[in-house]
Amino acid sequence: MTDFISTLTHARKFKAAVSTLALTELHSFQEKLLALIDTREKEEAEAVNLNAERNAQLNEIKRKMLELGLSAEDLNHVTMPKKKREPRPAKYQIEVDGEMLTWTGQGRMPTELKKEIDEGFELSDFLIVQKN
C-alpha cells in the first residue's frame, strides 16, 4: 500500500496531514472526492447492467440448449470441415537422369534446378509452357 493510501485510510494520520489546510481547501477536496465517487458509482452501475444483460443472454442460450437436448460438452465436439486447398500447378520443370522434376515456385527450390541457375541459366528457361 502506498504512503498516500495509508494516510487516507488511517484516521489519525489523515487528521494530522490535513490539519494545516484551510477550510476552503478542505471543501474543495470534498467536492472533488464526491465527484470521483459519483463517477465510480455510475461506472459500476453500468458494469452491473452490462453483466445483467450478458447473464440474461446466457440464460436464454442455456434454455434453448435444454430445449434442443444439448449440453456444454456437445459444443466442444463441434468442428467445421476444413477445406482442402487445391494443389498448385507446377510452373517449372527440369529433366534429371531421364526423370522430369517439377517445382511450383513456392517453397524450397529443387537442388538440381538451383545448380542450373548457379551455372548461368535463367529461371524462365525452365518455365512450363501452358497449352490452351
% the chain with pLDDT above 70: 97
Residue-range definition of the domain harbouring residue 28:
3-75
Q: Which of 75, 102, 117 corresponds to the end of one domain?
A: 75
Quote the strand ranges of the chain, DSSP E: 92-96, 99-103
**Whole-number pLDDT of residue 17:** 87
pLDDT at 132 over 60: no
Claim to verify: residue 70 and residue 8 sit in the same structural domain: yes
22 DSSP 8-state letter: -
Strand partners, 96: 99
Claim to verify: residue 101 and residue 68 sit in the same structural domain: no
Residue at grid coordinates 446466457 = 58
Claim to verify: residue 101 and residue 64 sit in the same structural domain: no
Predicted structure pTM score: 0.41
Number of domains in the chain: 2
What's the whole-number average pLDDT of the chain?
A: 88
Q: What is the pLDDT of residues 60-112, one digit of tens each?
A: 999 999 898 888 887 777 677 788 888 889 999 988 888 888 999 999 999 99
Claim to verify: residue 27 and residue 53 sit in the same structural domain: yes
Claim to verify: residue 95 and residue 70 sit in the same structural domain: no
Claim to verify: residue 95 and residue 126 sit in the same structural domain: yes
